[in-house]
């Protein structure tokens, strides 16, 4: 196979807003949809998330939207994500947050511009992000503990596979030893 045959083009229409080039290696691409439909991984996930937001909006918020209004909804989502620079996962969280915590507050596609500025939603999003980061750190430490061994002493900390930490301070007998002198 030649180098030219190993390259494919991302089929996502907004790819040029996310990447400098639509060309990518076939090995790194995600194949989706049609026979020759390849996507950058982040383009594919963005496209899927936007479709999920659209489906959630149509199914749970306003099932009476017509084709033209659904087009306006997708246009509004794209405007928020690509023009305003709001993370697509944050927008999805905001829609789900308003469905569960403030039902009836979101009725029209243009309301998406307002829900991304809601203080309660932003606070909940930050808490969710912090929780996700803590979980990732726990998972990584657990994975490292499993790779190193069940209970392995790492410096002054003891990492165990049961997701706990043990701290063993050095016993200092004099004030000078505390200072490291």
What distances in angstroms separate CA 32 from CA 7, 13, 19, 48, one per listed residue?
16, 14, 19, 10
Residue pointed to by tokens 């309660």: 120
Residues 6+ apart with CB under 8 A from 94: 112, 115, 116, 118, 121, 125
Token pair, residue 91, equals 């927008």
> Residue 155 has what pLDDT?
42
Integer Cα distance of 4 and 152 in angstroms: 49
Residue 172 scores a pLDDT above 70: no
Q: What percent of the chain has pLDDT over 70?
A: 79
Q: Which of 171, 148, 168 is nearest to 158 (CA)?
A: 168
150 falls in which pLDDT band (50, 70, 90)? Answer: low
DSSP result, 61-115? I-TT--HHHHHHHHHHHHIIIIIS---HHHHHHHHHHHHHHSTTS--SGGGHHHH
Integer Cα distance of 165 and 96 in angstroms: 35
Tell me: the pLDDT tens digits for 96-140?
999 998 888 888 889 899 999 999 999 999 999 999 998 888 888
Tell me: the pLDDT tens digits for 34-71?
778 888 899 999 999 999 999 999 999 888 888 899 99
Residues 6+ apart with CB under 8 A from 158: 151, 152, 165, 166, 167, 168
């Amino acid at each position: 196979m030649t180098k030219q045959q190993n390259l494919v083009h991302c089929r996502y229409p907004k790819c040029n807003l996310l990447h400098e080039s639509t060309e990518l290696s076939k090995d790194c691409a995600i194949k989706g949809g049609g026979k020759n439909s390849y996507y950058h991984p982040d383009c594919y996930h963005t496209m899927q998330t936007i479709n999920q937001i659209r489906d959630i909006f149509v199914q749970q918020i306003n099932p009476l939207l017509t084709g033209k209004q659904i087009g306006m909804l997708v246009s509004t989502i794209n405007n928020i994500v690509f023009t305003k620079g709001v993370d697509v996962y944050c927008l999805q969280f905001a829609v789900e947050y308003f469905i569960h915590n403030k039902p009836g507050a979101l009725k029209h596609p243009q309301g998406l511009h307002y829900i991304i500025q809601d203080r309660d939603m932003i606070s909940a999003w930050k808490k969710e992000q912090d929780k996700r980061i803590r979980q990732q750190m726990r998972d990584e430490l657990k994975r490292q503990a499993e790779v190193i061994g069940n209970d392995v002493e790492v410096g002054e900390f003891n990492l165990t596979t049961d997701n706990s930490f043990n701290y063993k301070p050095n016993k200092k007998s004099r004030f000078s030893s505390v200072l490291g002198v």
